Amino acid sequence: MKIESYACGAWTAGTDDGVEVSNAINGEFIGRVSSQGIDFAGMLEHGRKVGGAALRRMTIHDRANMLKALAKYLLDRKEMFYSVSASTGATRADSWIDIEGGIGTVFAYSGIARRELPNETFAVEGKVEHLSAGGSFVGRHILTAKHGVSLHINAFNFPCWGMLEKIAPSLIAGVPAIVKPATVSSYLTEAMVREIIASGILPEGSLQLLCGRTGDLFDHLNEQDSVTFTGSAATGQMLKSHPNIVANSIPFNMEADSLNCSILGANAAPGTAEFDLFIKGVAQETTVKAGQKCTAIRRAIVPRDYVDAVIEALRARLDKTPVGDPSVEGVRMGSLIGRDQVEDVWQAVERLAGDNEIVHGGQRDFDVLGADCRKGAFFPSTLLYCDKPFQTDAAHSVEAFGPVSTIMPYANADEAIELARMGRGSLVGSLVTADNDEAARIVLGTAPWHGRLLVLNSDCAKESTGHGSPLAPLVHGGPGRAGGGEELGGSRAIKHYMQRTALQGSPDTLTAITRQFTTGATPKLGPVHPFKKTFDEVEIGDSLISHRRTVTEADIVNFGCLSGDHFYVHFDEIGAKESFFGKRVAHGYFVLSAAAGLFVDPAQGPLMANYGLENLRFTEPVGIGDTIRVRLTAKEKIRKEKRPDEDRAAGVVVWDAEITNQDNVTVAVYDIMTLVEREDN
């Protein structure tokens, strides 16, 4: 059996025998993997010209809805993936992280894109920058999809999640992807990609699969392409230094395995809830996926007085985690991915044992339930103790990528911080403490060396996702040894695949390009009130200048009685004169309410509801006798998809609102969002 690639619109197997892959539990043959004969340059061109062109014609929201449909499709077929995943040595719980965790990440990115990014083929970023005194020359940033391909080289430990968490932001950005899974677990990635292609949900060319070696693929990358890599630091550094990557300044995002730490706080003594949380966390990160996680806890940093209690508690917990065939009842930890990986981990443990004491496991002869230890890729959960962590390098430089962790003591917070730093850059660190002052000191001391930090205590433990769970809205990556890259991170991850361009020009020109009203652009004043227009009829720049209203003392008194806000600057004549304002002033929210009365058309029409208010600033006080008016301008339009339970289709119109006084001085600015009926019901 050949594990196939999907290249240039067709499934294809390599022309030679390639590499044999086997079942991690029983060693049985699964298939052969080869990329010999594949046209690597053709794959890139197919992605750029076919997939990229199709994606760029879609809006960001179209792409996000496409991924939502794909996630639903995959979730309906999850049991198929679970059955294949069993051959990787994973338990059902391990596979859940990879399969449903990956699908959940796709769902999450679909929601992030629809909430945070416009329903356009591009995105506008940041505020308008005023570049001239007269206001006729301004600047703004836009983000557009690169006309290239994102190449994702993934590690063996998460064949599904590793792919999905990378292609989701890339496809939303409008950039097609080529996925290159690790050979040893590529059969699971292939199974999921087959279903993705069969669904017909993605445009042709937007996703291709390369199983086997990359050949001369790197030679054909260009300046519009990007590469992401997850795996060992040595391999990542080799690929990152490829002459073509360097010559064309091709973005290369690396996430490397790191020596992540977990710190037990000084106040988390044995017997406390936090002590138990620490033990549970270290044990879970040692055994979940048999320790084959880039976020696993490799260094457990504990107060010296608690060392014996920590070792005893971890031994007891790990003894309750039987190793074996996950299909056998009672087995809670499966195998490593393959026999080669087993030998790699044993070599790392032997190096660690030279300077440290093995206090649990570490024996090649151990019990395995329901399987043959000589045929499967099993490894015992293993703990080491490093008594003098400041006098040894191995515990801070050697990673055993399996169910292995090293305990090391500290005397005070400064030592705990220094030990965390000695990992020289980690994807994630955790601190278990109920002392918020201790948390602040250690977090601020260690943050520059970590991509993510979990601070865990009994207050958040019930809902915490734990030390080793990267989440779509938060950055996944880390400095130094962790690769210096950044994955996930909400909309930031989507922007990794887009080109940020600074625009300079007149307000009218930038309004036309960005499809967002730029302050200083020519407003469109017409005979029809903007609120009488449907979403389709509203044009960016449509404006209304209201009639005027003079603020009276009665307005202030009545609003104070209605709202209950009797702050002294509104009612105390003497106190107000001594205040920052120098006089009695109207409530800011009265000014907003009065402004609404000035610009709202009271008649029934296509405007359905006030959808929200953002970016409010009160810039000048409004006193008794001041006269205000409002300029309202259509700033942005966001088309919303009609839900099955909605009677009418709608879109959101964002209005730039500016309130001025009798001297034409701005007293308040803000954005109003209205829900407006669309014509295409």
Instruction: Report, as residue numbers or ranges, the catalytic residues.
Output: 255, 294
DSSP assignment of 604-631 equals: --SEEEEEEEEEEEE-S--BTT-EEEEE
Give the integer Cα–Cα distance in Å for 406 and 446: 19
- What's 62-100 look like in SS3? HHHHHHHHHHHHHHHCHHHHHHHHHHHCCCHHHHHHHHH
DSSP codes of every residue in 8-71: TTEEE--SS--EEEE-TTT--EEEEE--TT--HHHHHHHIIIIIIHHHHTS-HHHHHHHHHHHH
* Residues 6+ positions from 596 with CB-CB distance below 8 Å: none
**At 421, phi and psi to the nearest 5?**
-65, -30
With beta carbons less than 8 A apart as the criterion, state whether 509 and 502 touch.
Answer: no
Q: What is the dihedral of CA 560, 564, 569, 570, to 10 degrees?
A: 0
- The answer to whether the CB of 235 falls within 8 A of the CB of 159 is no
- The residues, any chain, with a CB within 8 Å of residue 123's CB and separated by 6 or more, are 60, 117, 142, 143, 495, 498
Instruction: Give CA–CA dist 174/147, Å, rounded.
Output: 9
Residue found under tokens 């999809």: 145
d(CA 231, CA 226): 17
For 639-676, give the DSSP string. E-PPPTT-SS-EEEEEEEEEEE-TTS-EEEEEEEEEEE
3-state secondary structure (DSSP) of residue 246:
helix
Pairing of strands 252-256, 498-505: unpaired
Nearest Cα to Cα of residue 256 among 522, 518, 451, 8:
451
DSSP sequence for 532-601? GS-TTT--TTEEEE---EE--HHHHHHHHHHH----HHHH-HHHHHTSSSSS-B--HHHHHHHHHHHH--
User: What CA dihedral angle connects 604, 607, 612 and 615, to 10 degrees?
Assistant: -110
